[in-house]
Structure 1
Amino acid sequence: MDGLTAHALAPELNDLLTGSFVDRITMPDRHTVNLSFFAPQKGRFNLSLDANPSKPALNLSVHAPQRASNSAPSFTMFLRKYLRRARLDQVSSPPWERVFIFHFTAVDDIGDSRELKLVFECMPRTSNIILLNRQDTILDALRHIDHRINRVREILPAHPYEPPPPQNRLTPDACAATNTDELFSGVKPNSSTGRAVSLTIAGFSPVVGNEVAHRAGLDSVIPFSSLDEIKRDRLASELRTVCRALSQGLFEPAIYYDRPATDRKRQVMAVHVIALTHLPFSESYTHIYQAVSDYNFAVSTLDQFERMKTSLSKRIDEHIKRVQKKRMLHENDVADGNQAENDRLMGELILANVYAIPPRSDGVLLSNYYEEGTSIFCPLNPQLSPAGNAERYFKRAKRNRRKLEAASRLLANDLDELSWLASLSAAAGYAESEDDLLALELEYDERTRRQSRKSKKSKSPADYHPGKPAAKSRRKDKVFARPGKRKDAQQPKQESRPLPPRRFLSSDGFPIVAGKNNIQNDRLLRKARKDDIWMHLKGAPGSHVIISSEGNEVPDRTIEEAAGVAAWYSSAGHSGSAVEIDYCPVRNVKKIPGTRPGNVSYQNHKTVYVVPLDPYDLQSAEQSSTE
């Protein structure tokens, strides 16, 4: 939000909220304050002031505010003390500044009336929410700023409030009476044309500077110093036109997108009160507050999705690194264990030639009677007798056999876990919504929690053998541990409702279902009919796709479309090239017992080569059910 939008938004807020009473105050996070207003004639409004330094925002809606945390922060309690049941008298904003001032009249505990101001400074990096008394003295602020942060403007309780420093630019009202030379007198020679415009007028943002340059038929990135007098006059003329419309209150609120409304992948680019003709697609609004709120909601939803996706991918990548380290150790143990037969052979050869080996030898070359004409050099310990060296080799062979057995089992578990993590990583890559990521998080948390419980229960008896560090104290802890249930075991477990899979309809009307995670993949397989068609990307992670045949023969077009969906929701989904998709009746697909979710075997399958198909080009099952 720039100063122009704030200047246009403040009167709307004043008309909507004046005369309302503060009904509820909450803080859903450490940056945001939600104020619920109610008036008998106007109804209920929820005002959200988000002072996040990276992306401050103001939202007004009639919907219920975001639920707050269990414990109210101290700033929430402070605002409740002063503003609860207070009447909003006015909403104002300094001209062309991103500052909103809410004027309240409240009644204190003894019944005296007092005037208060809640100031919302909606500027990046310095955003803040400040409560003032009638004398403009700071009562408290969301973010305290002392001299160590800003030596010019301190924001602390009991300090006088000083507004943000002025922009020292021309206002849109004064722009019309200013000639071209005076308009751009303060422009730096190396500034671009768009930046030169945005730094000339108060409240202008870079997107407005680019718009003025576009209307003048100029490229916004070319240096301003390269413009001749004719181009500068044309630029100044368009600038005066925009400023004249702003001064007259001719606002055209709209949200601007990078793609048309028919494209579900479109993302917001900007919101403004003037027409941004250089941006391709737009959606007009009647009220400015609705456009601003919808834009902020779209931006916050996208940011939250990206944060969830980054966080989940990071957790999975770190888990993969840990498992890969374990795999390397277990591979080394398997390599050591494979020496068991060689150690046994050396022990047998030494024992067969025990009387022919000189004492205190450090090695001997012995004939291998298992392979005629071959010899094996056997290193010996000079401190041991030949029989003692044979016994040493037999013990080492026995130890390596145990190591091979255990390491092979653990290595198989590592490979299975890496395969599972690879499927999660691929699914996180092609996730399209928060529900997709939530399904993956549920699977990841459930499996890791189950593995943690299993590792705690399966303590090896060797952990309590004498001679092991702290073995005595562990035995004492085990003996004197109090029997009984844990506190968390006494509480009933809350089972979360399973998330629905993705559902689509083929061009022939056959339902196509795709799982969002491996748990859903197993569930789809269990619920599918034996004559339904199962699909999966060949030899790589991907979603399981089911065509519900309902006892009918599935046409080739539906098979190709479902295969395209299976390719889309896979590790090769956005490659753009044809991939192999295996498919077969569900009766030929078997869940492998004792393995991770989504791990199946199948036979008598066919393979089709398809290009990944965006499933939203098909009709969604939810849409068809509502028609």
Structure 2
Amino acid sequence: MAFDGIFTRSMIIELREKILNGRIVKISQPYPNEVILTIRANRQNYPLLLSANPQYARFQITKIPFTNPKVPTNFTMMLRKHLENAKLIEINQLDNDRVVYFKFSGRNEIGDQVNLVLTVEIMGRYSNVILYNQETKRIIDTIKHVGMDQNRYRTLLPGATYRQPPTQNKVNPFEDDKKMYVSLVKEFPNREILAKELLKYYQGLSKLTSLILADYLHQPKKIEDNFQEFLATTALPHPTKIVGKSKNDFSIFSSNEENMESYDDLSTLLDDFYQEQATADRVRQQGSQIIHVVKTNLNKNIKKLKKLSVELKNTQRADDYRIKGELLTTYLYQVSRGEKKVVLPNYYDNENLLEIDLKPQLSPSKNAQRYFKLYQKMKNAVQHISEQIAATKNEINYLENVQTQLELATPADLPDIQYELIKGGYIEVNVKKQSKKYKSTSSPQEFESTDGTRILVGKNNIQNEKLSLHSAKKNYIWLHAKNIPGSHVIIENDNPSEETIYEAAILAAYFSKFRDSAHVPVDYIQVKKLRKPNGSKPGFVVYEGQKTISVTPSIEDIQKLRK
């Protein structure tokens, strides 16, 4: 149903029960378009996420960990100045729209009580978080500044007057005194057509919600009762994720269908629904430099490999030069100085004639020597080019591995990957900064098999190397997708069950380049049989005597194994 007006209403009801009358104890802005207010209420701390992300705009209580930037943004400092220790006294919605007002009571610089409003406007790429004074309507600051050149209807800048977003001239379903839905049901008995008409008429409905409302109205009861039953669900929602073939969705309405997953509350539902998408988006934002460096170097090496392959193909002419040199030497008496070409019998090809180009300024013997030199030069080039091709392929494999890690990374993993690229010379930094000893703060991801065995998954090369070559006991079991860039996986058991090996293999396959493929081969072997070659890239190991298992990874299996 997406985050529409109906879902907004239910979320407000949920938040009122948990955080209303609580006080702000911490304010963070871990990502450019997202703010987290930690609110102390009912003897608990609730991290309230307010997001103006163009794709994932929302507000909720989140349990997903985050890392704050070293330097707070101007918007963060402004919020801390005005809202720290402020009390949340109201949470209201603009009609049935996706605009929410969090009203706080606090003190200004001179100690006077002041009411401030933090507004979350969920409007796609126009989404915003705005702090303004309730009495004067003066905007204190916004997470996104919008000037007159961007929006003539309303300016969203510090000092400007706050205006509500423009209305769509639709009816609030909670205030429909005319009961237009009765006429619509009679006029449009078809479910899909009725849903489209409801979407046009009522405010705050998504496509999915309008279809659900159409189903309610078609129930064998009085139409007015069906409509009121639909509205009442917003106060007693049934948080549900709808698992689709192409994409997932979420709703506040329950269903008995098999492709539904139920949750205890709306915030937990959103954490699960947005975790993978939002995390990938945050990594793209914070790791843009790293992603660019890896992509640039990968493309450069792919082009280099193509060029080297062409050069290697050209060296296959080396034997042609040798044959020409030998024929000239054999039939030297038939060659005259000053000739540009000569045709000689080729005893390597059933005495067929072979035309040989000559340098007129050179003697016949010198021409023969020239072909022998070209032959030797190309023969030497074969070895050099072959070595270059092998080195370039290793470089491509390494960069593809880093690229895979970035696709599966969280923002907390980025410092490790950045440090690795700095050490490898891919990213240039200040010499003094580089000389400081780096300490990794991230840890391998923990999972638990069905029988309770602990399984660890390295999320980057620094973690992989530390996990496999330093932390894991020698008799533990190590797994990795076969000949594919991916994570190192450790089963913390010297004699795990077949079920545990299978589940660990699913983890190794999922945290690899081929995580969307079926029948991914995964090698497993004891840790003591791993060896790191001298001078190899971080996280690179070799091994012999492994066993291989084929698995098909899925996100559902991964969720079951999370601790």
State the TM-score, normalized to the length of structure 1. Answer: 0.67
Which residue among 469, 473, 490 is the counterpart of 2:435?
Answer: 490
- Cα distance in 1, alignment partners of residues 77 and 306 from structure 2: 55
Is the partner of 2:130 in helix, strand or coil? strand
Structure 2 counterparts to residues 193-272 of structure 1, below 5 A? 193-217=194-218, 238-243=226-231, 245=232, 251-258=235-242, 269-272=249-252
Deviations 1:571-610 (A, max 9, x none): 7776656x8888889999887777676564646x8888x6
Is the CA contact 1:120–1:128 (under 8 Å) kept in the aligned structure 2? yes
Is the CA contact 1:14–1:92 (under 8 Å) kept in the aligned structure 2? no
- Cα distance in 1, alignment partners of residues 89 and 459 from structure 2: 51
Match of 1:303 in 2: 277
- Cα distance in 1, alignment partners of residues 204 and 421 from structure 2: 53
For 2:315, give the aligned amino acid. G
Match of 1:450 in 2: 424
- Cα distance in 1, alignment partners of residues 88 and 499 from structure 2: 60
For the structure 1 residues 422 and 501, does the alpha-carbon distance in structure 2 shift closer, same or farther, using more than 3 Å as the test? Answer: farther
Asked if 1:72 corresponds to 2:59, the answer is no
- Cα distance in 1, alignment partners of residues 454 and 172 from structure 2: 60
Is the partner of 1:254 in helix, strand or coil? coil
- Cα distance in 1, alignment partners of residues 491 and 159 from structure 2: 69
Aligned length: 551
Is the partner of 1:125 in helix, strand or coil? helix
Structure 2 counterparts to residues 346-357 of structure 1, below 5 A? 346-347=324-325, 349-350=327-328, 356-357=334-335
- Cα distance in 2, alignment partners of residues 34 and 562 from structure 1: 35
Asked if 1:413 corresponds to 2:391, the answer is yes
- Cα distance in 1, alignment partners of residues 394 and 562 from structure 2: 36
Match of 1:94 in 2: 94
Is the CA contact 1:522–1:598 (under 8 Å) kept in the aligned structure 2? no
Is the CA contact 1:592–1:599 (under 8 Å) kept in the aligned structure 2? yes
Shift of 1:380: 0.7
For 1:283, give the aligned amino acid. S
Is the partner of 1:199 in helix, strand or coil? helix
Deviations 1:344-388 (A, max 9, x none): 453455456656532321012345688995664321122434354
Deviations 1:504-537 (A, max 9, x none): 478xx9999888788849975996768x988888
- Cα distance in 2, alignment partners of residues 36 and 563 from structure 1: 36
Larger-gyration structure (1/2):
1
Is the CA contact 1:563–1:581 (under 8 Å) kept in the aligned structure 2? no
Is the CA contact 2:29–2:73 (under 8 Å) kept in the aligned structure 1? yes
Is the CA contact 2:185–2:194 (under 8 Å) kept in the aligned structure 1? no
Shift of 1:319: 5.6
Is the CA contact 2:315–2:378 (under 8 Å) kept in the aligned structure 1? yes
Is the CA contact 2:27–2:76 (under 8 Å) kept in the aligned structure 1? yes
Deviations 1:120-176 (A, max 9, x none): 323333322333331323343333334433333333444433222344333344446
Deviations 1:231-261 (A, max 9, x none): 9x96665224434x37xxx72133202369x
Asked if 1:150 corresponds to 2:134, the answer is no
The RMSD of aligned alpha carbons is: 5.4
Structure 2 counterparts to residues 131-150 of structure 1, below 5 A? 131-133=131-133, 134-150=135-151
Structure 2 counterparts to residues 128-527 of structure 1, below 5 A? 128-133=128-133, 134-175=135-176, 178=179, 192-217=193-218, 238-243=226-231, 245=232, 251-258=235-242, 269-272=249-252, 281=260, 283=262, 285=264, 291-307=265-281, 321-347=299-325, 349-350=327-328, 356-366=334-344, 376-418=354-396, 434=409, 446=420, 450=424, 486-495=431-440, 499=444, 504=449, 520=464
For the structure 1 residues 404 and 576, does the alpha-carbon distance in structure 2 shift closer, same or farther, using more than 3 Å as the test? Answer: closer
Is the partner of 2:424 in helix, strand or coil? helix
For the structure 1 residues 277 and 164, does the alpha-carbon distance in structure 2 shift closer, same or farther, using more than 3 Å as the test? Answer: farther
Is the partner of 1:209 in helix, strand or coil? helix
Structure 2 portions without partners, runs of 5+: none
Match of 1:121 in 2: 121
For 1:269, give the aligned amino acid. D
Q: Which structure would you say has the larger RCO, counting Cα contacts within 8 Å and 6 or more residues apart?
A: 2
Is the partner of 1:163 in helix, strand or coil? coil
Match of 2:35 in 1: 33
- Cα distance in 1, alignment partners of residues 249 and 385 from structure 2: 54
For 1:335, give the aligned amino acid. K
Is the CA contact 1:564–1:612 (under 8 Å) kept in the aligned structure 2? no
Is the CA contact 2:405–2:459 (under 8 Å) kept in the aligned structure 1? no
For 1:281, give the aligned amino acid. M
For the structure 1 residues 284 and 573, does the alpha-carbon distance in structure 2 shift closer, same or farther, using more than 3 Å as the test? Answer: closer
Structure 2 counterparts to residues 586-597 of structure 1, below 5 A? none
For the structure 1 residues 444 and 117, does the alpha-carbon distance in structure 2 shift closer, same or farther, using more than 3 Å as the test? Answer: closer
- Cα distance in 2, alignment partners of residues 76 and 309 from structure 1: 20
Deviations 1:271-291 (A, max 9, x none): 43x656779635364xxxxx3
- Cα distance in 2, alignment partners of residues 283 and 98 from structure 1: 24
- Cα distance in 1, alignment partners of residues 479 and 399 from structure 2: 20
For the structure 1 residues 104 and 196, does the alpha-carbon distance in structure 2 shift closer, same or farther, using more than 3 Å as the test? Answer: same
Is the partner of 2:271 in helix, strand or coil? helix
For the structure 1 residues 325 and 193, does the alpha-carbon distance in structure 2 shift closer, same or farther, using more than 3 Å as the test? Answer: same
Is the partner of 1:78 in helix, strand or coil? helix
For the structure 1 residues 136 and 419, does the alpha-carbon distance in structure 2 shift closer, same or farther, using more than 3 Å as the test? Answer: closer
Segment of structure 1 superposing worse, 586-595 or 208-217 = 586-595
- Cα distance in 2, alignment partners of residues 36 and 186 from structure 1: 50
For 2:102, give the aligned amino acid. F
For the structure 1 residues 515 and 401, does the alpha-carbon distance in structure 2 shift closer, same or farther, using more than 3 Å as the test? Answer: same
Is the CA contact 2:506–2:551 (under 8 Å) kept in the aligned structure 1? no
Shift of 1:329: 1.9
Is the CA contact 1:105–1:113 (under 8 Å) kept in the aligned structure 2? yes
For 1:408, give the aligned amino acid. S
For 1:170, give the aligned amino acid. V
For 1:198, give the aligned amino acid. L
For 1:116, give the aligned amino acid. L
For the structure 1 residues 88 and 307, does the alpha-carbon distance in structure 2 shift closer, same or farther, using more than 3 Å as the test? Answer: closer
Deviations 1:476-511 (A, max 9, x none): xxxxxxxxx9424531233566636877478xx999
Deviations 1:292-314 (A, max 9, x none): 32233223312135548999999
